[in-house]
């Protein structure tokens, strides 16, 4: 397995775990729900997304990790190569667009003045761009099942 693919899998699984943690009521990296909302959503008031939304994101991130793992030789469960290839590039494009969005005028303007706005531009978006780049680079480095 390529180091880049392993990193994408590990990061995706860690992010999924973080979303499960939030869905179960965890507050890190905030100290209160309002602080967490400002840091990870970019809203000044309201409630954190519910358990269902957090778990849905976690499931999407786990699915992304598995799609990358399939490219490295994990079981395909009878799905054709085209299914996994489209999924792989679909995941990569989602991370790419999420990363670019942080720098596009107006996309996250609602969050200006919150910790999220700066965290997004300095950490969250660059991580998404790094994941997209790692996926593109590691695509050709596969371990196909025999």
How does pLDDT run across 42-92, given as a tens digit for each residue? 999 999 999 999 999 999 999 999 999 999 999 999 999 999 999 999 999
The reply to whether 146 falls in a domain is no
Judge whether 75 lies within some domain.
yes
End-to-end Cα, the chain, rounded Å = 15
Q: Is residue 41 part of a domain?
A: yes
| Residue 57: how many other CB atoms lie within 10 Å | 18
Q: Residue 13: its pLDDT value, please? A: 98
For residue 144, is it within any domain? no
Asked if the structure places residue 59 within a domain, the reply is yes
Measured CA distances, 91 to 1, 57, 84, 134, 138 (Å): 19, 13, 10, 12, 13
Give the per-residue pLDDT at 27.
97
Residue 7 inside a domain? The answer is: yes
Q: What is the number of helices (H) and of strands (E) in the chain?
A: 6, 0
Domain count, the chain: 1
Tokens coding 84: 């996994």
User: pLDDT per residue over 91-104, tens digit each?
Assistant: 999 999 999 999 99
């Amino acid at each position: 397995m390529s180091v880049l693919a392993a990193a994408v899998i590990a990061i995706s699984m860690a992010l999924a775990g973080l979303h499960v943690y939030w869905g179960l009521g965890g507050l890190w990296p905030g100290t209160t729900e309002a602080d967490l909302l400002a840091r990870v959503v970019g809203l000044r008031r309201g409630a954190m997304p519910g358990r269902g939304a957090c778990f849905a994101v976690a499931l999407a991130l786990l699915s992304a990790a598995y799609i990358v793992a399939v490219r490295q030789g994990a079981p395909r469960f009878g799905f054709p190569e085209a299914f996994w290839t489209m999924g792989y590039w679909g995941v990569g494009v989602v991370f790419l667009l999420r990363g670019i969005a942080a720098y596009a005028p107006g996309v996250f303007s609602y969050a200006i003045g919150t910790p999220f706005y700066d965290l997004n531009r300095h950490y969250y978006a660059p991580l998404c761009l790094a994941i997209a780049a790692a996926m593109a680079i590691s695509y050709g480095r596969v371990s196909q099942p025999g």
